[in-house]
Structure 1
């Protein structure tokens, strides 16, 4: 029977360069965005109404007001808390570059979205005597979403990759193995996809369309929907290949791609995954013990044990065949290197 996912092996921690990059990407950059937003808003204090508009209804009219201090506190507390949390996750669980990129990108993107939206809404109120006359937000939320995604991707891409760390251990004797015929290249390909969640995605699109219709903000809604569609396409279907290179998992788009070089594979096996219990949801996820996972459905999954106490979990059909071939390729590579 497949085993439940196990925690990754102990690790010595991140290299100093990775700690610096994680601190910069997940903590310093988001807090710098927050600090700049607070400073800019405070510099406008004398030109803003008191109180300022803090919420808008579906018709674009102001439905709530607050003091400038209250608005800034409501912006700063969640942004700072989430940035600190992302930094801690990156420092404590960031055994692979993928995890560090996710935490840094998420923290930066959230800071840009929240701070950008608040600052833009305040900018539109400068010179007003009464906040109730503030103009509708219009396309501001959509622009904030796009800006947040772009900067999140830039920060994630700027994070350093993993230092090469060749594996030295032997494949466990009880691990599955395939029989290789000679030295000819062997490969296995599996597909992981979100097929069973199609109704959920359709409902989500309809909800977005409904919100757009109610708010009468067609173009902002289309922009948000297009951004959401791009994210869904990026994560919807992954092709997983095992061959002499190691393990390569890629989407239908050129990015993202997850690669585990063959010389960094300790071993491979199969497990059973519950997306919510083991990873907190679906998609490209972070799990307990510093694991990363491409989790698109419950059930059978390929587990790749990587040097440096790293672990990649992919929910893919035919995982047993993939694990058996990967272990055989690792053993052959170790023998030829001696």
Structure 2
């Protein structure tokens, strides 16, 4: 049994406004819910002309109001960009409005370039005091404020989550929200030994960001599982990995649809000029430098591109090899010039085709 979920960066095409891109992604989230996918996460990226997911909490609120069952979450909130209390307050409200449906994935990367990170952090230098240095403490603070470290079998009662602070020699109780009845599920995200070790130490669920194409997944998962310390909220390790997918009726069409995002990532990695995501036709007409062509080929080997049978044949062994509880797919298929600006047919079709090979998704829709 393989649980599947969805990761979305809210891509903005050359024919879309930000509002169009969000509307298209909401339609994708509704399709994921209809098909039985477990959760739908939005990433945090800044100052990128092809990515609209600057504020996961805002998007989660909108998407949760537009769906009814699927879990919504951040993949992730880049905690060094924010005050721990701010994140806790946002996700406490989200959980209060949509109890049992909210995930909080936390990462320590900036999600942008150094100048944008400097502005996000209140124009504080990232060299004098590295905000990521306080990441472990900040994660613990967020968990305590939310009650995400509370045992799953212990209901919320009169004793509310909070953090005791010593201010001027006096004790001060800090809470994220006046009276919570449940807490978001907490995950740590990363693609390094650092994040795996921290998730193990804190006893949180762990996501390996495999869609970046970074090596080291076996080592990171081994560190997490071997060093895992049970917490009040999580007794045993819980893992998820991400993959980029493009699924179509033929492998050739799947590759064609993946080309816009392949080019965007090639330009990002080779220092090229970034812009809105190209349509499929624009991508096919784009001349690439030798470095960009090499990057496209390298990524294409790592991404799961092909028919539903071909992609399933790579997902299931991936799940078994790494023993993960869940696979989160990022549907990277681009759109045709004739597609409406508020729709993303190729990404919806990718989820639909993949779902036909995973009957366990439909079983998740059945009442217990």
Q: Same fold (TM over 0.5)?
A: no
Shorter-chain TM range is: under 0.3
Greater gyration radius: 1
* Structure with the bigger percentage of helix: 1
Normalised to the residue count of structure 2, the TM-score between the two structures is: 0.24
Normalised to the residue count of structure 1, the TM-score between the two structures is: 0.26
